Structure 1
Amino acid sequence: MIDAISRLPVFSFLWPGMLWLFALVAVLAAGYVWLDRRGRHAAAHYPELKTAGVATRRGAGWRRHVAPVLILLALAALVAAIARPQAVMMLPSRIETVLLVMDLSGSMRAQDVKPSRLRAAQQAATTLLEAQPAGVSVGVVAMAGTAAVAQAPTRAREAVATAIERLQPQGGTALGNGMLIALTTLLPELTPDAERLMNDDTPPPRKPRALANPPADTEPVKPGSYTSGAIVLFSDGESNAGPAALRAAQLAAEHGVRIYTVGVGTPEGVVLSVDGWSARVRLDEKVLKEVADATSAEYFRLEDAAELKRVYRALNARLAFDKRSQVEITGLFAALGALLAGCAGLLSLWWFGRVM
């Protein structure tokens, strides 16, 4: 509910000084009320005026008020148009590239999500792929103990779908590496910083720090401000190799790239037996939420197959409408005023045989 409210348009006016004209509309409304009361008073005290036609419309009941009220509303809309209203609205972000990072760790074989975590992630990724506009390039990064580009960004949907389908579980999980490979695929100029992180095993700092040395006149980039591309990570959140996931998220945030995370699995997990060893594997939502929050993106949970469509619809909506822009809507108010005035005239003509 809070998220929906935050997406409502925020209004402002380019010429707020013109809003004083609303006072004239209020004066006209008060004048109409006064004239109406005066007419009713005259009709009550001088019944003979009815035969002269002064109060012909008094018997029309509520209908006699409809046209004047519509005219007053039309004037109010036109006054708002004169003040040149503008609204902050969600618009298509013209996203050009989406990188899908697929977790291929051994824990993705778990079947707490049917038919398995990996298979559910593949189905979700394929559904998201099919929902992208024709002009959007989609790439795939395979992530296990290491990470590599399984399919370079392309508009050929068949090639991407084939790359997703061929993915098989492997050993190890380098969550940070997967995000860094996807990030450098989007922004190749970040390769030196990404390589530095991959070779740095120190714990992540409590607060984001600059990982590169930008020019002195370069202003910091706001997280989530990069609208040409985005990363979608499908994972159960467990990581045992490579740099910390938060370090990779910090680098992405510093360059405005959003990393949407999809948690695959259940928090209680299941016992997984592979090659003679057994362990309980759980969905680690904490790290996935932290990655999404750090990059001004969102976290989704793919807990069962029934959630597949809901997750992909939400993700697709975020990818398609993720740009806030201020738009002047003067024409909308002007059209509304003209429509209301036209309706007032037509109704008055229909009911009383005169325009007003």
Structure 2
Amino acid sequence: MSFASPWWLAAGLLVLALGVGYLIAQRRRRRNTVKFANLELLDKVAPGRPGWWRHIPTALVLVGLMLLTVALAGPTAQAKEPRNRAVVMLAVDTSLSMEATDVAPNRLDAAKEAAQSFVDDLTPGVNLGIVSFAGIATVLVSPTTDRTVAKQAIDGLTLDERTATGEAIISSLQTIELFSKTLPPDGTDTGPPPARIVLMTDGKRTVGRTEQDAAQRAADAGVPVSVIAFGTDNGSITVNDEVIPVPLDTEAMQQIAQISGGDFHQAASAEELKSIYAQLGEQIGYETKERDVSKPWLIAGTMLVVLGSAAALVITARIP
């Protein structure tokens, strides 16, 4: 817990001073009573005074004042809040290398299943778009909160030749830019909504603009790219009876993440891919903000002061 106005905590010293003053006053009263009074006569004419519990009202008031001091300091705590205007573009590699069976049943089918879980778990208020890329990048779904169309697009992914990784990033950036212009202001945001590209691929770019150029464009636009390298170095496909190795190109993928300000992940199984998607969904769908938590302190402090005052009226017939 932190405080918005921590200097108010210094007022707690005044409350402590009141407590010390009360103790001193009690000791002085006892000393003066013993010094100037005839104890035998006092026992006969003075009514019996309450015992130690007569100090409870004052203690309650002092504790209540201390809690109110904390409330004045503006205590805050971190809390997760859903992002309701964020834009996420999920770009899925559909090149022929995704037919490799090093991840059962094959890379593409495993990627589809994991992507479906990502869509289901993503915060409802996040606008999600889908891009598929092989020789070209195709925007299948513009950003929307309708998860049904996104899942239908993922189910319909099919394989094609070549890999245009850079084009997928640039197409995603263009889609984010166009969509951001259509969003009405909500009265709190001063700029475009937060955006991110999630790029799932298994191989090296073969056509189109370079990954480095696309990643730099993403960095310039303030859109980080979360890259997921999916598959193993032992993957292979068969084309015209020829076995062609399709290992991962992690170096290029790491460069995309580094240049764009995003992050890099590697998954060698469907379970690992689902786990990464779950982590990304948590990062993308929620943000951590400082939230004011002074209300409980204010309520508790006020109740203790009122309770202490009421108890003082009952016990000592006066408010401390």
Same fold (TM over 0.5): yes
Match of 2:172 among 165, 176, 182: 182
Aligned to 1:102: 92
Residue matched to 2:215: 249
The alignment's TM-score, normalised by the length of structure 1, stands at 0.65
Question: Equivalent residues in 2 for 1:37-186 (5 A)?
Answer: 55-57=51-53, 68=59, 72=62, 74-85=64-75, 91-186=81-176
Shift in CA distance, 310/273, structure 1 to aligned 2, threshold 3 Å: closer
2:303 counterpart of 1:342:
yes
Counterpart position of 1:213: none
- 1:29 to 1:91, Cα distance in 2 relative to 1, 3 A: farther
Q: Matched residue of 2:4: which SS?
A: strand
Alignment of 1:201-212 (within 5 A): none
Q: 1:23 to 1:262 in 2, by over 3 A?
A: same
1:304 equivalent to 2:296? Answer no
The residue type equivalent to 2:165 in the other structure is L
Deviation at 1:292, TM superposition (A): 3.1
Which residue of the partner structure matches residue 315 of structure 1? 280
Q: Distance in 1 between matches of 2:61 and 2:242?
A: 79
State the identity as a percent: 29
1:21 to partner: Cα distance: 0.8
**Equivalent pair of 1:176/1:242 in contact (CA under 8 Å):** yes
TM-score (norm 2): 0.71
Instruction: Compute the displacement of 1:251 (Å).
Output: 1.0
Change (3 A) 1:85 1:336: closer
CA change 1:133–1:338 in 2 (3 A) is: closer
Displacement of 1:349: 9.6
Contact 2:62 2:305 in 1 (8 A): no
Partner deviation per Cα, 1:160-184 (whole Å, 9 max, x = no partner): 2222112122222221111111111
Report how far residue 66 of structure 1 moved: 12
Give yes or no for contact 1:105–1:143 (8 Å, CA) kept in 2.
yes
Equivalent in 202, 211, 222 of residue 236 of structure 1: 202
SS in 1 for 2:163: coil
Q: Match of 1:270, SS?
A: coil
Distance in 1 between the 2:238 and 2:228 partners?
24
**Shift in alpha-carbon separation, 1:321–1:155, aligned structure 2, 3 A:** closer
Once the two structures are TM-superposed, the CA of residue 157 in structure 1 deviates from its matched residue by 3.1
Take 1:38 and 1:118, find their aligned partners in 2: how far apart are those partners?
Answer: 85
Q: Match of 1:265?
A: 231
Residues 10 and 22 of structure 1, relative CA distance in 2, 3 Å threshold: closer
2:248 to 278, 283, 290: 283
Are residues 167 and 99 of structure 1, via their aligned partners in 2, closer, same or farther at CA, if it must alter by over 3 Å? same
Cα-to-partner distance string for 1:106-136 (whole Å, 9 max, x where unaligned): 3222233332222222112212222345554
Report if the CA contact (8 A) 1:12-1:87 is conserved: no
Question: What are the Cα deviations for residues 205-237 of structure 1, in whole angstroms up to 9, with x where unaligned?
Answer: xxxxxxxxxxxxxxxxxxxx8534332111125
CA distance in 1, matches of 2:201, 2:20: 64
Quick check: 2:91–2:199 contact (8 Å CA) kept in 1? yes
C-alpha deviation, 1:314, in angstroms: 1.8
- Structure 1 stretch displaced more, 155-164 or 252-261: 155-164
CA distance in 1, matches of 2:120, 2:245: 34
- Which amino acid is 2:137 matched to? A
- The 3 A distance-change label for structure 1 pair 319 and 177 is same
Q: Take 1:111 and 1:119, find their aligned partners in 2: how far apart are those partners?
A: 10
Name whichever of 83-92 and 100-109 sits farther off.
83-92
CA distance in 2, matches of 1:33, 1:284: 75
Alpha carbons 2:236, 2:247 under 8 Å: kept? no
Q: Residue by residue, what CA displacement relative to the aligned partner does 1:71-127 show, whole Å, maximum 9, x if unpaired?
A: 555433322332445567654332353221001123222233332222222112212
What is the Cα deviation at residue 148 of structure 1? Answer: 1.8
Say whether 1:12 aligns with 2:4. Answer: yes
Whole-angstrom CA distance in 2 between matches of 1:143 and 1:88: 39
Listed as ranges, the gaps of 5+ residues in structure 1 are 1-8, 40-48, 59-63, 190-224
Higher alpha-carbon Rg = 2
Counterpart in 2 of 1:292? 257
Give the CA deviation at 1:35. 8.4
The amino acid of 1:299's aligned partner reads F
Change (3 A) 1:54 1:264: same
CA contact (8 A) 2:94 2:134 kept: yes
Pick which of 21-30 and 161-170 moved more.
21-30
Contact 1:258 1:292 in 2 (8 A): yes
Q: For the residues of structure 2 that align with 1:127 and 1:272, how far apart are their CA atoms?
A: 26
Q: Is the 8 A contact 2:172 2:197 kept in 1?
A: yes
Tell me, in whole angstroms, the C-alpha distance in 2 between the residues paired with 1:73 and 1:283. 64
RMSD: 4.2
